[in-house]
Amino acid sequence: MNDSLSISNNIFYLVDASGFLFRSFFALPALTTTQNRPIGALLGLCNMLLKIWETHEFTHWALVLDSKEPTFRHELMPSYKSQRKHPPEALLEQFSLLPHLCESFSIPYVIYPGFEADDLMVSYGKWALSFAQQVVLVSSDKDLMQAVTPEIRMYDPVKVLWVNEATVEARWGGRPSQIPDIQGLAGDPSDHIPGIPGIGLKTAATWIKEAGSLEAVLEGNINALSQHKRDLIHTFKDQARLCCHIARLRDDVPIVHSDLQPFQRKFPDPHRLEAFLDEMELKRLKRRLTDLGWLQNKPPLQVQVHLWSPQALSAVCVTYMSWLQDSKGSILGVVLFNTLEAMVVPFGDFQQEAWKQFWNSETHLKVSWDILSILRKLSYAMPKALEDLRVLEYMVRGCHSEKTAQDTIIHCLSECPVIDTVWGLDIPEYLRCYHSVHEAVYGIQAYHVYRARLQGTLYHTLDLPLLSCLYGMEKRGIGLDIDTLTMLSRKLSDKMTQLEKKIYTHFHSPINLASPKQLAQVLFEDLGWPKPKKGKSGQYSTDSSVLETYGAQGYTLAQDILEWRHYAKLKQSYTDTLPLQVNLDTGRIHSSFSMVTTSTGRLASFNPNLQHIPISSVFPIRSAFRPAPGYVFLSLDYSQIELRLLAHMGSINTLIHAFQRGHDVHHATAQALFHTDEVSSEYRKRAKTINFGILYGMSAFGLAQQLNVPPQEAREYIHRYFELYPGIRAYMQEVEGQAQKDGYVRTLWGRKCTILDIHSTSSVVRQGALRQAINAPLQGTCADFMKKAMLDCQVLLNPDAYLLLQIHDEMLLEVPESRVEILALQLQSLMEKIDVLQVPLKVNYYWGKVWL
């Protein structure tokens, strides 16, 4: 059996095991075995290592451990790390088990007396570049950033952050190699490195950037330096040199290995691993590794992997496509699997005629997981005869899909045993990826399982065809006027400054208004406001709901802070961020779309999210979006779609008659609830809140907050509402009963909407699930209608009009100005006839040069 993995030349991962064990100990619950042996930190480390194994492609790795002995730094500076408390015995006991963990998981490890793990990582990283294409330092330790180069990257799994030279520059204000110089001046309190008293990181970075090095600073090569600062430098220059030396990580630790062979990534011995898991009583982890096939004893499935050929490709009828990607996500090729043989197609061969014929063939069924994520990188046309495993899983389960292909497959099959890959000699090293073959082998099995469980026709008539539509929307993008956003950003800054001056009149000194901790200190300690309950962090909460409560009680300062936050969010989320997301080649923003992230079938937009662009007349963010020359925006939206669906699906006669006669339902509700024939705009607004609040299962308390009335008054409104529309309560009870019985509800067209927490032991969570169940059939049916409209409108749009966005019950299009009037009428008719209900569907539209 070929246990070792080989991909993309060699990629060597060095993992800061001691650092992560330390973090896990203080971040996770203090778990123990039945014999009181502490295991919480070990479990946290195991889970993190397994996550790295599953989500990263690398050929070699090692865990790096700290030694118990003092290092050379302690000899040079006895105060080094002296402020740190002695580690708890429970942590020390788990540190002592690290070698045992490594041996059980077949992970190589390195440890060297007199040197810290950081020194080992830098030294081994530098040495490994003679044998590896790339080295990755896996750590959350900021000190390791000084080792970052184009060939040595850093990955922080806690923040899920890749660190490169640009990241370091932004974090430190200097190049990676300058970090020890900066610490020589500013010190490092976490390691008790003093630096020069009174010199902070920002000042130190500025000086180093100007002078170039610590020595140049110490020699006085800094302009406009005060005499006081010069005196400090002169007095503490020797200390600064020592601190720099202490902070600089060693890259010359003696290496006892001659090559990377001992660090090969390989699967653990199942017997040894199982013994370790049993000894540590890691039952849940054992179940997970069993599902992954790591603990199997039977012979592994052998899979032959060959380089593709046109003849072999033409014989394929149904195949799974698993994509080969490098560490940066670039496509290297694809693994195709059908029976017990796999073939690899390198990226460079995608231009060959045989591959193009396969890609566009209607007779070769191709299965892939999340094809949109691949097409975004390839910029190819959607393949013909495609099925998407992620969309299929979503349809069968009726809830959001798993985040990786591996998770989808495991959820479907439960067990995905290790396979024995037999690589053809003609396959280059960089294309030998075990994970892609494993996904292909079990991905085709998962596809057949889910295909057999599929009910209804929506997968083939709506969701699968919609992939092409979404891909077209992503490629088209939407135009953005950066000058408009820049102007709005300046206005927001001015408004925030005005509010800050007003707010600070209440404080002794300015604070960071974005800091909940500082704000809580001022409001509840300095100003003596009545103290709310403390949150999970142990601090008094200053979130929006808390400040809104104070604002309702007459605390105008709370209202000012909320207003400041609103403007800060507009600035941070939109006016300052959107310009950075404009594609330089097209001059447009290209959002991504997904149909598998909600339980109701609604579409989602991300990178950036364009579905939540606020509607505002004061700071009109939407006005910055612009159509192409000669084009206008055309917007069409369903009017009161969910109330109309409620009337139809619940057979609510009162509502049905109102809609059939073209009445304003909010106006009618206001007349009945408030006992008046003259309905003011305020009354209509309240009635609208009640209509949709009850539709979403809102409680009397929630409605009271929305209307700013006492809870008793809100309860009376709800009581009157159910008397006005008696069928609604019966419909809600029927839907709740179905959700409690089956665990899911269905839309009008049969889409399954799973209600995950309907049987939760928490009454609060369970009530939230019931509210979701009430609304899901309505929201999901609206989503189905929108998807059908998006598909059906393509014939009308071709060849020169484009669908840009879909936002809940609205479609935004970009159409030639010469065609807009006729298209608006055609699309309105199409959407209003999307289905035949007991009530008419009504669609409003507008067009113009600005998105309203």
Could you give phi then psi for residue 806, rounded to 5 degrees?
-130, 120
Which residues have CB under 8 Å from 317's CB, separation 6+? 338, 363, 364, 365
Q: What is the DSSP string of 26-94?
A: HHS---B-TT--B-HHHHHHHHHHHHHHHH---SEEEEE---SS--HHHHH-TTTTTTSPPPPHHHHHH
Alpha carbon distance 144, 148 (integer Å):
7
Find out whether 843 and 828 touch, Cβ atoms under 8 Å: yes
Q: What is the largest CA-CA distance in the chain?
A: 91
Q: How far apart are CA 248 and CA 146, in angstroms?
A: 8
- The helix (run of H) or strand (run of E) holding residue 634 is strand 631-638
The reported pLDDT for the residue numbered 5 is: 38
Q: How far apart are CA 550 and CA 546, in angstroms?
A: 7
| Cis preceding linkage at 627, omega within 30 | no
SS3 of residue 366 by DSSP: strand
Closest listed residue to residue 628, CA positions, set 802, 469, 470, 794: 802
CA quadruple 42, 48, 50, 53: dihedral sign = negative
Contact 454, 337 (CB under 8 A): no
SS3 at position 428: coil
How far is CA 357 from each of CA 311, 322, 332, 350, 757, rounded to the nearest angstrom? 12, 19, 20, 10, 47
CA distance 445 to 466: 24
Q: Are 393 and 463 in contact (CB under 8 A)?
A: no
Q: Which helix (H) or strand (E) holds 827?
A: helix 820-832
What is the C-alpha separation between 501 and 793, in angstroms, rounded? 52
For the chain, list the domains and their CATH numbers.
11-263 (3.40.50.1010), 301-454 (3.30.420.10), 486-588 (1.20.1060.10), 642-778 (1.10.150.20)
Using 50 as the pLDDT threshold, list the residues of the chain that sit under it.
1-8
Residue 186 CA to residue 555 CA, distance in Å, equals: 43
Q: Which of 803, 804, 798, 791 is nearest to 830 (CA)?
A: 791
The tokens of 386 are what?
């495609």
Please confirm whether the linkage preceding 840 is cis (ω < 30° from 0). no
Per DSSP, the residues of 281-300 read T-HHHHHHHHHTTTT--SPP
Burial class (CB in 10 A: 0-12, 13-18, 19+), 46: buried
List the structure tokens of 696: 């979403």
CB atoms within 10 A of CB 464: 16
Instruction: Provide the β-strand partners of residue 420.
Output: 302
The vertex-306 CA angle with 300 and 311, nearest 5°, equals 130
Separation in Å, CA 849 to CA 483, 579, 852: 16, 19, 9
**What residue type is assigned to position 151 of the chain?**
E
| Contacts with 656 (C-beta within 8 Å, 6 or more apart), sequence order | 647, 648, 838, 839
DSSP-assigned beta bridge partners for residue 387: 367
* Predicted pLDDT at 536: 66
> Are 199 and 233 a contacting pair, CB within 8 Å?
no
Scored b (16 or more CB within 10 A) or e, 238-266 reads: ebbebbbebbbbeeebeeeeeebeebbbb
CB 454 within 8 A of CB 350: no
**For residues 127 and 250, is the Cβ–Cβ distance under 8 A?**
no
| DSSP secondary structure of 535-567 | -TTSSBP-SHHHHHHHHHTT-HHHHHHHHHHHH
Distance CA 363, CA 379 (A): 23
Distances (CA, A) of 592 to 371, 472, 798, 806, 822: 12, 10, 22, 12, 29
Closest CA to 214 of 223, 229, 204: 204
Q: State which H helix or E strand residue 478 sits in.
A: strand 478-480
Q: Do the beta carbons of residue 175 and residue 209 sit within 8 Å?
A: no
Instruction: At 520, give phi and psi (nearest 5°).
Output: -60, -40
Extract the runs of DSSP E, i.e. beta strands, from 298-364: 301-307, 318-325, 331-337, 341-346
Is residue 54 a contact partner of residue 293, using CB atoms and an 8 Å limit? no
pTM of the entire structure?
A: 0.73
